[in-house]
Amino acid sequence: MNDTEIIRSTFSHLGEETISKIIEIGTVQSIPAETQILREGQYVKVVPLVLEGLIKVFTRQEDKELLLYYIQPQESCIMSFSASITNEPSKVYAITESDTKALLLPATEMNNWIKQYPNINTMFYSMFKLRYADLLETINHIIFNKLDQRIVKHLQDKAEMYGSKVIAITHKQIANELGTAREVVSRIIKKLEKDGHVLQLQDGIKLL
């Protein structure tokens, strides 16, 4: 499929009028994996609608990071949307986890669009609810779960997103995404492997 067909297929729920408008105004961009597309303190210029790939959104405090949520196909970055309509600098930063194709909507149009196109307003409201649920789940895991449980859940989530029990990930990446130290993650992964929960591979980890 070409880009227009992908947009129409991915966001068919928005209706023809809205889709035609975002195709007219938006720009499709292919973004390589591990590309930072938004940084903290930056004023948002575009709001991405993900067509293919995966984006992860982080918060950072001093030298520690914490993964807040993923943006998958048919989704957008609600924090970018919020910053764009209030014209405030971003409080998060975002990186592509895999090669990603996104439709970039100009932030300057968002206030008008949510009034003119109710389907866009409804879509972002639904994403607010989804991201709120994600953040509550993250908070609950941090407060109530031990780190080994959080690591297993994190790997399970990635396995589900990629459709494979083999996850290309490093101990450092896990540590960054969960806001902890690499040495701690390495000790826990070693214990999880000893207990038969995971298998460490040369280029990743396999869930057993």
The 10 Å CB-count burial string (b at 16+, else e) for 89-118 is ebebbbbbbbebbbbbbebebbeebbeebe
pLDDT single digits (tens) 58-69: 998 877 889 999
pLDDT single digits (tens) 64-118: 889 999 999 999 999 999 999 999 999 999 999 999 999 999 999 998 888 898 9
Task: Give the pLDDT of residue 64.
Answer: 82
Every domain of the chain with CATH number 2.60.120.10 lies at 3-143
Please spell the DSSP secondary structure of 8-54, one letter per residue: HHHTGGG-HHHHHHHHHH-EEEEE-TT-EEE-TTPBP-EEEEEEES-
Task: Give the pLDDT of residue 62.
Answer: 76
Task: Give the pLDDT of residue 61.
Answer: 82
Strands (E), the chain: 27-31, 36-38, 46-52, 55-61, 64-71, 93-96, 100-106, 166-167, 198-201, 204-207
Every domain of the chain with CATH number 1.10.10.10 lies at 146-207
Percent of the chain topping pLDDT 70: 100
Dig out the tokens for 184 from the structure. 């701690």
pTM of the model: 0.86
Domain 146-207: give its CATH architecture: Orthogonal Bundle (1.10)
What's domain 3-143's superfamily in CATH? Jelly Rolls (2.60.120.10)
pLDDT single digits (tens) 138-170: 899 899 999 999 999 999 999 999 999 999 999
